[in-house]
Amino acid sequence: MKTIKTLLCATAIAALSTTAFARDLVMNANTSDPAQKEAMENLIADFEAAYPEIDVKFNLYDHEAFKVALRNFLVSDAPDLITWNAGNRMKVFVDLGLFEDVSDVWASENLYEQMPAVVGASSVDGKQYGVPYAYYAWGFYYRKDLFEQAGITETPSTWEEFKEMGAQLNAADITPVTIGTKNLWPTAGWFDFLNLRVNGADFHADLMDGKIKYTDERVKKVFEIWEELVEADFFVENHPAYSFQEALPFMNQGKAAMYLLAPFIVSMFPDDVREQVEWFPFPIIDESVGIYEDAPTDSFHIPVNAKNKDDARLFLKFAAAAENQTKTAGTLDMLPPNINASVKDDRFAQGGFAQLSKADGIMQFYDRDTDPALAKVGMQGFQEFLQHPDRIDDILERIEVERARIYGAL
Amino acid sequence: MTDMTSYPVPPKPRHTTFYSRNKLVITPLLFIAPAFAMFSLFVIYPIIQSISLSFYEWQGIGPKKWVGFNNYDLLFKDPVFWKALVNNIYWLVLFLLAPVLGLIIALFLNQKVFGIRLVKSLFFFPFVVSQIVVGLVFTWFYDPAFGLIAALIEPLGLKLPSILASEDWATFGVIIAGLWPQTAYCMILYLTGLNSVNPEMIEAARLDGARGWRLLVNIVLPQLRAATFIAIVVTVIGALRSFDLVAIMTEGGPYNSSNVLAFYMYDNAIFRYRMGYAASIATILFLIMDVYIVWFLMRLLKNEKGSR
């Protein structure tokens, strides 16, 4: 009996001493793509080097699995830190009271002045609930050599030029645009940009918040403009059969010239193709409408049920610092939200940065800005529209039913 | 530690104990109890729980809101639900080809020649591979730009329609992929069934002049009744559970044209955070399966009575 007691005491002391010396910081992340994984591991290594007494336990999840797991671990066994997205996706959990208010971190590090572009996306009712580590621009990734082959010397900046460019590419037997719609969300990039260019950001934000009917004439106008492209054979055939990566070979094989997407596509091109790839922003449709862009923002959050919130705050401060933002965003091929950080010296990051600096306002992305159930029905509608533009009235009617179910009749 | 020894010794029963009087009732109950407890905890309780969940609006976390039959009301007005239900019926009907094809292959393979064991195992192979792999392989087969079928028929001047991108063909494309492993499974069931066919009966039938089709229908098939029953049971269950192939090949698309109830339920629960709505789909699926389960149980009871 005595020996047992001694043993118990010894283990208890050992346990106490380890907690005293090494402070565990548990982090659950969805950064599973190769570049994302590397960026996160580097950031953690740097953090541990700066704070040797803190031991970061890093749990990596696949993107979709994370969406499911998040809802479980936030209520049952919360980690100290998570990666997630700013905007409506964050607001869902803030409204449920599951994300910690980190306005104190914003105030103490003066992030309001250092990260002006992402304050809005990180705030709910004037309080901040996360610290962004990267954001990125959407735009056209195109093959310069194919453009030259079709006799195109300049990238289009107006809608007329854009359509003209498509006609030239089609004449040269190159499909202008590749898109894989099996995952649905690539279609939403098109809708977002067309709606932002035609109706502006205020209208778009209201639509995302369910304050405008999908059967509104202004929404129909967007699809009329989109239909011009569908009718002019802008898009590859059979796109519902391909995931977003599976649509890339069309570009790699020179059958299609461009893809409306985000920087994570860059590392997926084979080296010889990537050399030919350049970037241009979505063209202007209506001169009187400002330049609004999609710029999805990825950020760190502290769950309300976290155990080690002090060290989690240390991590947020560390991740917000300019030099760490430079490094992380650089590895990700994305942009650092901190204005004192430097943007990677590469044509995609610089191009996206220049465009966002010009922007009159930014949105997150269709499936980050609106209700997830509505986003799904909406994107299925966009996919069907691309196959059957004549069904647009039915499609909008169906999306409107879902909008009305979620946000109430208007 | 000492109080254990002071356990009172029960007096020896003079006549009978309660247990020995009711032995015939209690013993079976005791044997059933562990299984029943497990079954209640892991099968019956979740069923009741998900049926009750279907009367709530709930996003997986946070408060639940009682909505009565509202989920069912929405469900019956949801065109995707009806589309998925119709697709489930396609699955059910077309999947019954699996026992037929399985029987044909089994009859063909049921011969004693050199190397037949290898051939049999090759035919069984698709059932061993994971459904996910089957789905991926067929997706690549069907690919209209880079796929094998396209490459084979292009020299003939034919153009493959994109099966998985077409609202008319996607479901059938997925069902064909599902039939491949299911046929292999039915084949194995029939092969084992054929092993137990009484050779004397065949011989007697032959002597009486039966051959070919008549021999098969009147002599062989009746002896394969048990195998047929099992083959149909697993096939119907397989058709109603169809989920993995849909998830991997089309995700229910294009725009829900290849959706089935099981996948639509998953989609609502996991990606749209509509747990109550998903539970109402699960309940409907459960009711559909009940029809079939009742038929199955009645068959089973009848068979057992017959064998007594």
Chain A residues with beta carbon closer than 8 angstroms to that of B79: 398
* Residue B39 C-alpha, separation from nearest chain A C-alpha, in angstroms: 25
Q: Other C-beta atoms within 10 Å of A48: how many?
A: 14
**Residues 6 or more apart in contact with residue B76 via CB below 8 angstroms:** none
**Is B181 a member of any domain?**
yes
Residue A59 binned pLDDT confidence (cut-offs 50, 70, 90): very high
Q: Do B253 and A249 touch (CB under 8 A)?
A: no
The amino acid at residue A387 is Q
Give the global pTM: 0.83
Residue-wise pLDDT tens digits, B9-53: 666 656 678 888 888 888 999 999 999 999 999 999 999 999 999
Note down the domain range covering B160: 73-307
Q: Does residue A404 sit in helix, strand or coil?
A: helix
Residue A1 binned pLDDT confidence (cut-offs 50, 70, 90): very low
Chain B residues with beta carbon closer than 8 angstroms to that of A75: 61
Task: Flag whether residue B273 sits within 8 Å of chain A, measured between CB atoms.
Answer: yes
Look at the domain A139-294+371-407 and name its fold. Answer: D-Maltodextrin-Binding Protein; domain 2 (3.40.190)
**Is B97 a member of any domain?**
yes
Q: Do A249 and B62 touch (CB under 8 A)?
A: no
Task: Flag whether residue B1 sits within 8 Å of chain A, measured between CB atoms.
Answer: no
**Is B47 a member of any domain?**
no
HSE (side-chain half, CA atoms, 13 Å) at B41: 6
Per the model's pLDDT, the better-predicted residue between B242 and A129 turns out to be A129
What residue segments make up the domains of chain A, in order of their start?
Answer: 2-136+297-362, 139-294+371-407
Q: H helices of A22-143, where? A: 34-50, 63-73, 88-95, 103-108, 111-114, 119-122
DSSP conformation class of B11: P
CATH (domain of B301):
1.10.3720.10
Q: Domain A2-136+297-362 class?
A: alpha beta
**Residues 6 or more apart in contact with residue A290 via CB below 8 angstroms:** A200, A201, A360, A361
Judged against a pLDDT cut of 90, whether residue B304 lies above it is answered with no
Cβ atoms of A333 and A344 within 8 Å: the answer is yes
Chain A residues with beta carbon closer than 8 angstroms to that of B167: 387
Task: Flag whether residue B250 sits within 8 Å of chain A, measured between CB atoms.
Answer: yes
Chain A residues with beta carbon closer than 8 angstroms to that of B74: 405
Task: Flag whether residue A181 sits within 8 Å of chain B, measured between CB atoms.
Answer: yes
Find the distance separating the first CA and the last CA of chain B, reported in whole Å: 54
Averaged pLDDT for residues A366-380: 91
Give the burial class of B108: count Cβ atoms within 10 A of its Cβ; 0-12 exposed, 13-18 middle, 19 or more buried.
exposed
Q: Do A376 and B165 touch (CB under 8 A)?
A: no
The H or E element that residue A167 is part of is helix A159-171
Q: What is the pLDDT of residue B91?
A: 93
Number of domains in chain B: 1
Task: Flag whether residue B79 sits within 8 Å of chain A, measured between CB atoms.
Answer: yes
Task: For A241, name the nearest residue in chain B, comparing CA atoms only.
Answer: B165
For residue B112, the Cα-to-chain-centroid distance in whole angstroms is: 32
Q: Which of A181, A372, A381 sits opposite B271 (nearest CB)?
A: A372
Taking the CA atoms of residue B17, residue B20, residue B21 and residue B26 in that order, the dihedral angle to the nearest 10 degrees is 120
**Is B205 a member of any domain?**
yes
Task: Flag whether residue B256 sits within 8 Å of chain A, measured between CB atoms.
Answer: yes
Comparing CA positions, the residue from A154, A147, A178, A141 lying closest to residue A274 is: A141
The H or E element that residue A277 is part of is strand A277-280
Q: What is the pLDDT of residue A241?
A: 87
What is the rounded CA–CA span in Å between residue A393 and residue A384?
A: 12
Interface probe, candidates B167, B174, B255, B263, chain A, greatest A C-beta count within 10 A = B255
Q: What is the pLDDT of residue B8?
A: 63
A 47-86: CB under 8 A from B: 67-68, 71, 74-75
Judged against a pLDDT cut of 60, whether residue A342 lies above it is answered with yes
Q: What is the pLDDT of residue A226?
A: 95
Task: For A382, name the nearest residue in chain B, comparing CA atoms only.
Answer: B255
Residue B1 binned pLDDT confidence (cut-offs 50, 70, 90): very low
Q: Which of A68, A239, A240 sits opposite B270 (nearest CB)?
A: A68
ipTM: 0.79
**Is B36 a member of any domain?**
no
Structure tokens at A317: 């401060």
Q: What is the pLDDT of residue A19?
A: 47
Taking the CA atoms of chain A, what radius of gyration do you get in angstroms?
A: 23
